[in-house]
Structure 1
Amino acid sequence: MNQTISEQVPAVKFLLLQVLRGVAVVLVVHFHAIEAQTLYLDSSNHSWQEGFVHLKTFGAVGVDLFFVISGFIIVYTSRRYLQRGAGGEFFLKRLLRIVPLYWLVTGLVLVSQWALKQPVAGVEVWKSLLFFPFFDEERFIMPVLAVGWTLSFELLFYLLTALLLFSKSRHYMLWVILLLLLAISAGWWFPSPESWLVFATNPMLYEFVYGTVIGLLYLKTSQQKGFTSGLFPKRLVLVGAVGFLATLLVGYEHMGFLAATLSGEGAFMRALLWGLPSAFVVAGCVFLETSQVITVPRFLLALGDASFSIYLMHTFPIKALTVFWNKFELPFLDWFVLLATLLSVLVGWFFHVLVERRMLTWANSVFLPKQPLSR
């Protein structure tokens, strides 16, 4: 039986991508900690971090890293479903990875809102639970769990991949890339006021394309020394790091603001100025790891493992610390930002260990088909 290139590539555990996940989630948490400090604490004072070049919004780049990593990982993991055309099984597994934990944390938000006598409208609840991006006229309404907007894009990418897996075509990911590019182009040339079209044609989808291209290059070239040896991977990381540094020092208008991203107005520049550096860093880490043995401190791997829990849970510690800071009228705003970031990471890690792992094990055992014993 002939094997495709993807089926010949040995399984690899990408430790550096786990580290990048950890870095990405810390960046997002830090961004929201600064945001909370500027919105809810003493407005007459400013933290050093808030005023240092464009650090105030730079942490939002963590989302761009997540999207590019996701594009790569889906290429790498989905190939095992190709021969059977098991798009449904692939999509189910992705849902089980995201949905139970997301629903649980959304439930915690609803309970807290009810306790504060700030009930959420029913339509917002069910749209949030179903990952629908929804708008009120021209204004984006945050999901009940505010950070859930990124998961709408993730699930769109997963769904498209699952549908193409049914074709059993060895070029299924090329079709995914083509359809994403066509969708973005359609939104560019034929703009529509319809909110679902604004979402489905958002240039942020470029970042999944970047990750997908990296994945395909990896499967094609992982055995070729030109890509995986010498200084080439390190140069890719360096190019990406320089790109990040440039946006940190120079900035670009409203690139880090969510409303501009979701409306599409700032999404193209974001996918260019944050997405491309993310792609260079991800590609460099992937090829670097195939060229040499990588040793990574365990705490960094643990941070990456817990990144989803940290991402979903971090708004709770930040809000709690905001209440504490205001109650005692504490003036040390830089300490607030740092402590909020650290506390969020710790709470998210404990949530990962105590809840996420067990929930994922249970969900997989109940809903996934049993694998036959190997001979």
Structure 2
Amino acid sequence: MSQFNSKHYQPSKQRLNWLEGIRLLAAVGILLYHAQLLFTKYAYTPQPTGLRSNWATIAEANAHLGQNVLASAIALPVWFGFQAVDIFILIAGFVLVLSLRSKAQAVGAGEFIQSRLLRILWPFWTVAWLAYPILWLIGIANNSYRPSPWDTFAGATFPLLFGFDGERLLATSGPWWFIPLIISFTLISPILWQLLNRWGTRNLLLVSLVVTLLYRYAAVYHFGGHLTYSMLDTPNNWLPFVSFVAKLSTFVVGMAMAEAYCQHRGPLFWRPQRLLWIGLVVYAAGFIAQFYRMGWVVCDLLLPIGFVMIAAVVLRSLSNVPALSAAMGRLGVHSYSYFLIHGFVIDRTINLWVQDSVWRYWVALPLMVVGTLALAMIADAACPFIQRSAVQLWRDIDYLLMQDPTAEGASWCPVVGDRVSYKGSRDWIVQKIETLLDEGESYLCQISEGRRTIWVNANHLSLVEATSRVHSPYAPIKTVV
């Protein structure tokens, strides 16, 4: 399992803009859900008391949002916005296979895990490092809640104090419990990828389904747990359902859908009418199941599958409009930072301004949706700078403290515009170059591949195609002292 071997497949980015649209839709759904819960003081969460009882409770909870039909109609689907968590997991499995199948060369397991972890952690660190000072300033100015020094340290240095239950992050932002779960799937991805190629899609899907169902049955009836989105008094609270095993088959379903997609078959190649109707049936089954204790065993498996099928039909149809397709592609890439930031926005907005005012809540809702997107864009724009600064600081410290500093110069002199190979991909372009502290003998390169931009040491790159060394339209190399 030292390397990922794959058959090369290169999907069209334009064809997958609908996938970014689903991500964005899920992120907005999570924000609306948490905002509604916070404003209504958790007036409703699904209970294992049957469909009729839950429907009556929803009607009572809607009264907190205004006595009119329109408010109730808008609020109804928002009560179930928690389903976006499992949608993210399914999409993560889909993207995993799509990413690996698109690589022309084999990728080492360790290299893959490192790359995926950093893609999770750099945006997280960016948001955390920027957010904590702001949270403290707001807390001091308004005499409101601010994370304790211990919680601040735990969040800013995550995953130094790592816990798979995400407890150390809850004091900063409740939705951050999801981050350790993502990391769990990242760590087991090499195993799942190897089994997918060794066992085949059908066998891996069957085994993961059996394991997940058995575990969820035990979590409900023997481990004393309840669903992560249900407020219920059980011996072990939601902890049994925080484990990746509770959602393993959802991740594998995403992998299976991507594997079929790469081979131009499977659900995503069904006729839209067939995909829509099957999606509606699967979603309806999961929706009803969540109101019964036995249904807890299967509901989280069915809901994301049904939702993605329905959303795929709708968003793929909308993506035929070039402007909408481009918008989904541009905005969807910010969905992860959107998720990381939304908890801060709704907490401070509702607690400090909205409070118990219904009209303020409805005014604030679209502002929170758009404002969080703007903050996510800012965070994503700042991420490369923070990443570059942190890497550069570490290298400078390392150089200063070395007992016998030696030149570790690159075997070639990078030039802006060079086409280079990085981690098996040969489509990276050098956009910017900086020399580090060690007397200009080590280069830090900013490279891009489509919308992805990262900073890496030139030693980790190999030249594929050199650009002209005469008249470069780009800025010269900047020396960092």
For 1:134, give the aligned amino acid. Answer: D
Structure 2 unmatched ranges of 5 or more: 44-61, 225-235, 392-453, 466-481
2:299 alignment partner in structure 1: 269
Post-superposition offset of 1:45 = 4.5
What is the 5 A alignment of 1:3-14? 7-13=7-13, 14=16
Q: Map Cα deviations across residues 52-81 of structure 1 (whole Å, 9 max, x no partner).
A: 473242222222221111111101112356
What amino acid maps onto 1:96 in structure 2?
Answer: L
Would the alpha carbon gap of residues 118 and 265 (structure 1) be closer, same or farther in structure 2, given more than 3 Å must change? farther
Shift of 1:86: 0.7
- Residue of structure 1 in register with 2:463 after alignment: 373
More displaced 10-residue stretch of structure 1: 299-308 or 103-112: 103-112
Contact kept, 8 Å, 2:93 with 2:253, in 1: the verdict is yes
Q: 2:183 matched to which residue of 1?
A: 155
Preserved contact between residue 345 and residue 372 of structure 2 (Cα < 8 Å): yes
Q: Do 2:286 and 2:298's aligned partners in 1 also have CA atoms closer than 8 Å?
A: no
Kindly indicate whether the alpha-carbon contact (under 8 Å) linking 1:69 and 1:211 is maintained by their aligned counterparts in 2: yes
Report the CA distance shift for 1:307/1:60 in structure 2 as closer, same or farther (over 3 A). same
| Structure-to-structure mapping, 1:141-152, within 5 angstroms | 142=170, 144-152=172-180
- Classify 1:245/1:172 alpha carbon distance in 2 versus 1 (closer, same or farther; 3 Å): closer
Is the Cα–Cα contact under 8 Å of residues 187 and 202 in structure 1 kept in the other structure?
Answer: yes
Instruction: Report if aligned partners of 1:71, 1:208 keep a CA contact under 8 Å in 2.
Output: yes
- Residue 214 of structure 1: CA displacement? 0.2
**Residue type at the aligned position of 1:205:** L
How far the C-alpha of 1:169 sits from its partner, in A, is 8.2
* Larger RCO: 1 or 2 (CA < 8 Å, sep 6+): 1
The offset of 1:91, in angstroms, is 1.1
> What is residue 36 of structure 1 aligned with on the other side?
38
- Code of the residue aligned with 1:277 in structure 2: it is G
The one-letter amino acid paired with 2:148 is: P
Closer/same/farther in 2, CA of residues 118 and 322 from structure 1, 3 Å limit: same
Aligned to 2:350: 322
In the TM superposition, residue 87 of structure 1 has moved relative to its aligned partner by: 1.0
How far off is 1:106 after superposition?
Answer: 3.3
- What CA RMSD, in Å, does the superposition of the two structures yield over aligned residues? 4.6
Please name the residue that 1:90 is paired with. 112
- Contact conserved, 1:97 with 1:360, CA < 8 A, in 2? no
Give deviations 1:160-180, integer Å, cap 9, x for gaps. Answer: 122456x69833775865674
Q: Please report how far the alpha carbon of residue 281 of structure 1 lies from its aligned counterpart in structure 2 after TM superposition.
A: 3.8
The structure-2 alpha-carbon separation of the partners of 1:252 and 1:172, relative to structure 1 and needing over 3 Å to count, comes to closer
Q: TM-score, normalised by structure 2?
A: 0.58
Structure 1 letter corresponding to 2:91: I
Whole-angstrom distance in 2 between the partners of 1:160 and 1:368: 30
Contact (CA 8 Å) 1:233, 1:284: kept in 2 or not? Answer: yes
Which of 270, 274, 279 is the aligned partner of 1:240?
A: 279
Match of 1:207 among 228, 250, 263: 250
In the comparison of the two structures, how many residue pairs are matched?
A: 349
Which residue of structure 1 aligns with residue 65 of structure 2? 46
Gaps of 5+ in 1: 255-259
Partner SS state of residue 374, structure 1: strand
CA distance in 2, matches of 1:173, 1:359: 41
Alignment partner, residue 89 of structure 2: 67
Q: Which residue of 2 is the match for residue 356 of structure 1?
A: 383
Given the superposition, is the C-alpha separation of residues 358 and 253 from structure 1 closer, same or farther in structure 2, using an over 3 Å criterion?
Answer: farther
CA shift digits 1:90-128 (9 cap, x unpaired): 111111211022133334555426854651646992799
Partner of 2:24: 22
Partner of 1:344: 372
CA distance in 2, matches of 1:269, 1:228: 22
For 1:28, what is the secondary structure of its paired residue?
Answer: helix
Give 3-state SS (helix, strand or coil) of 1:373's partner: strand
Amino acid at match of 1:204: K
**Residue number in structure 2 paired with 1:253:** 291
Q: Structure 2: how far apart are the matches of 1:143 and 1:265?
A: 31
Secondary structure of the structure 2 residue equivalent to 1:170 = helix
Pairwise CA distance, 1:313: 0.8
3-state SS in 2 of match to 1:11: coil
CA apart distance, 1:208 = 0.7
- Which shows bigger deviation, 277-286 or 23-32? 277-286
Greater fraction helix: 1
Tell me how far apart the structure 2 counterparts of residues 372 and 66 of structure 1 sit (CA, whole Å): 34
1:129 corresponds to 2:158 = yes
Change (3 A) 1:21 1:227: closer
Deviates more, 1:179-188 or 1:55-64: 179-188
* In structure 2, C-alpha distance between the alignment counterparts of 1:208 and 1:124, rounded to whole Å: 31
* Matched-pair contact (CA < 8 Å) for 2:213–2:298: no
Deviation at 1:251, TM superposition (A): 8.7
Name which one, 1 or 2, has greater alpha-carbon Rg.
2
CA separation of 1:178 and 1:339: change in aligned 2, threshold 3 A: same
Matched, 1:278 2:307: yes
Q: Which residue in 1 is equivalent to 2:212?
A: 184
Measure, in 2, the Cα distance between the counterparts of 1:154 and 1:296: 32
Deviations 1:231-273 (A, max 9, x none): 614531454356557878x79439xxxxx9xxx994632222x
Q: Note closer, same or farther for the CA distance 1:36–1:87 as it changes in structure 2 (3 Å cut).
A: same
Shift of 1:331: 3.7
Mark the CA change 1:135 to 1:318 in structure 2 (over 3 Å): closer, same or farther. Answer: closer
Determine the C-alpha separation between the residues in 1 that align with 2:204 and 2:29. Answer: 29
